[in-house]
Amino acid sequence: MSGQQSEAGSDDAGRTPQRPKGRRPGRADTRGAVLDAARAEFAAHGYEKTSMRGIARTAGVDAALLHHYFGTKQQLFVAALDFPISPDLIAQVILTGDRAGAGARIVRFAMTLWEQPPVRERLVAMLRAAATNEQVAELFRGFVERELVLRLATALGSEHPELRVELVMSQIVGLAMARYVFQVEPLASAGIDTVAALVGPTLQRYLDGVGD
Amino acid sequence: MSGQQSEAGSDDAGRTPQRPKGRRPGRADTRGAVLDAARAEFAAHGYEKTSMRGIARTAGVDAALLHHYFGTKQQLFVAALDFPISPDLIAQVILTGDRAGAGARIVRFAMTLWEQPPVRERLVAMLRAAATNEQVAELFRGFVERELVLRLATALGSEHPELRVELVMSQIVGLAMARYVFQVEPLASAGIDTVAALVGPTLQRYLDGVGD
């Protein structure tokens, strides 16, 4: 791959002797064009039906270079929509390590992330956008169903696995709403240990499918 | 109380021989003025610091008549802010009947309410307003802390009662977000029995304080 930039998003002037077919995503302006194209394609077709090929075509870049610089469709979505957390990382937190500790591990992981102001701001912005714009809600729905629910449900098995994964998410979203949107006290100021002790077993029960 | 209207909100022409001190809240225009005044006072001072006397003064009506026609401050808030459900009714659902069945009872009660389109629309509008407007979030926060959290926590006792009541609310809010805002499937279409069997024990655990 000739004329490859050192890093995605790099802005240095090209010294490449000849222009390759299609723009290269390594340049800052090309990176912006790809992210714009991705947002437009995802918004128009939803997560499931959008293809990397379609995004490459809209952005006027080579599909292979798109994969090279932006990774998978999931990774491009996270970058383009500024999704606060990678599904890969969430799946790793839940599925790696002892299963019995997964509930508390999810609470600790989520709360540790949220306590970082940029993540928290992005989370609240996402909840706000989804609450006020049905197209945004629909887009996030498609992404979450495909990249988190289906994947985790397959790993969990047992009865109603999709429903149980979604209930885990509902408790996490509700916790975020209560803590950062409604800011009810004492929950908004409660420490991670206290919340993990109370909410961890809830998530564990959903993951284990007890009471089905 | 002379010249009393038959019903709050009644619009019939008065035949009262003399005008009483202050406007009467029974007339439709006066009812509107009272609700406007209540919204303005609640927004300016928050739920806790707003008084029925202050609302009566702003609306130019007699404080005793205000109580007579609109009931308690809680009831006036519910009417003025179009709050989707009365805290009195929620408290009754939770605290009346066997304690061991409270978790499932809350889920069934909430879901039965939400399945009514006007209630669901109002619920989504409230979540939307709170997510996008910090003053609205703060106002609902004050109301919910005073009229639901404090009251239920006092009745429940045990360790961290406020926190546990707020976790019940967080799971209910998260369930509403997942079902009606994000509309993730299969949760959005799941029946009441299925959801009550999965979520009921979560709320029960929060109410009972198991695992503190």
Q: Taking a C-beta distance cutoff of 8 angstroms, is the pair A173, B178 a contact?
A: yes
* pLDDT for A176: 93
Indicate the SS3 state at residue B85. coil
State the smallest CA–CA distance between residue B15 and chain A in angstroms. Answer: 47
The CATH code belonging to domain A87-208 is: 1.10.357.10
CB < 8 Å from A in window 98-117 of B: none
Residues of chain A positioned with their CB less than 8 A from the CB of B132: 128, 131-132
B17 SS3 class: coil
The tokens of B136 are what? 């609205």
Q: Which residues of B touch A185 (CB under 8 A)?
A: 145, 162
Backbone angles phi, psi at B89, to 5 degrees: -70, -40
What integer pLDDT is reported at residue A126 of this predicted model?
86
List chain B residues with CB under 8 Å of A201. 205, 211
d(CA A80, CA B93): 45
Between A155 and B10, the higher pLDDT residue: A155
Predicted local confidence at residue A185, as pLDDT: 92
Query: A212 and B197 in contact by Cβ < 8 A?
Result: yes
Residuewise pLDDT in 10s, chain A (212 residues)? 334 444 443 444 444 445 455 555 556 688 899 999 999 999 899 999 999 999 999 999 999 989 998 999 999 999 998 887 888 888 888 888 898 999 999 999 999 999 999 889 888 888 888 888 888 888 988 998 988 898 888 888 878 899 999 999 999 999 999 999 899 999 999 999 999 999 999 999 999 986 54
Q: How many helices (H) and strands (E) does chain A have?
A: 11, 0
Q: Do A198 and B178 touch (CB under 8 A)?
A: no
Q: What is the pLDDT of residues B31-55, one digit of tens each?
A: 899 999 999 999 899 999 999 999 9
What top-level class would CATH report for the domain B1-81?
mainly alpha
Question: Contact A52/A73 with Cβ under 8 angstroms?
Answer: yes
pTM, two decimals, is 0.80
- Pairwise CB contact (< 8 Å): B177 & A185: no
Between A161-176 and A192-208, two packed helices, what is the crossing angle to 10 degrees?
Answer: 160
Do B45 and B107 form a contact (C-beta atoms < 8 A)?
Answer: no
Percent of chain B with pLDDT over 70: 85
Residue to mutate among A144, A166, A179, with most B CBs inside 10 A, is A166
Spatial CB neighbours of B57, under 8 Å, sequence gap ≥ 6: B63
d(CA B85, CA B90): 8
Comma-separated ranges of CATH 1.10.10.60 domains in chain A:
1-77
Q: How far is CA A28 from CA A11, A63, A131, A142, in A?
A: 5, 17, 32, 29
CATH 1.10.10.60 matches A1-77:
yes
Q: What are the b/e assignments for B80-92, b being 16+ CB within 10 Å?
A: bbebbbebbebee
Q: What is the mean pLDDT of chain B?
A: 84
Can you tell me whether residue B195 is helix, strand or coil?
Answer: helix
Cβ atoms of B168 and B207 within 8 Å: the answer is yes
| Numbered ranges of CATH 1.10.357.10 in chain B | 87-208
Query: A65's torsion region: left (phi>0), alpha (psi -120 to 50) or beta?
Result: alpha
The secondary structure of chain B in percent helix, strand, coil, rounded to multiples of 5, reads 70, 0, 30
Q: What is the DSSP letter of B84?
A: S
* Model pLDDT, residue A169: 94
Per the CB < 8 Å rule, is B194 touching A160?
yes
In tens, the pLDDT along B159-180 reads 889 999 999 999 999 999 999 9
* B141 near A CB under 8 A: yes
Per-residue pLDDT, B21: 55
With H, G, I as helix, E, B as strand and everything else as coil, classify residue A61. Answer: strand
pLDDT tens, residue by residue, B79-128? 998 887 888 888 888 888 898 999 999 999 999 999 999 889 888 888 88
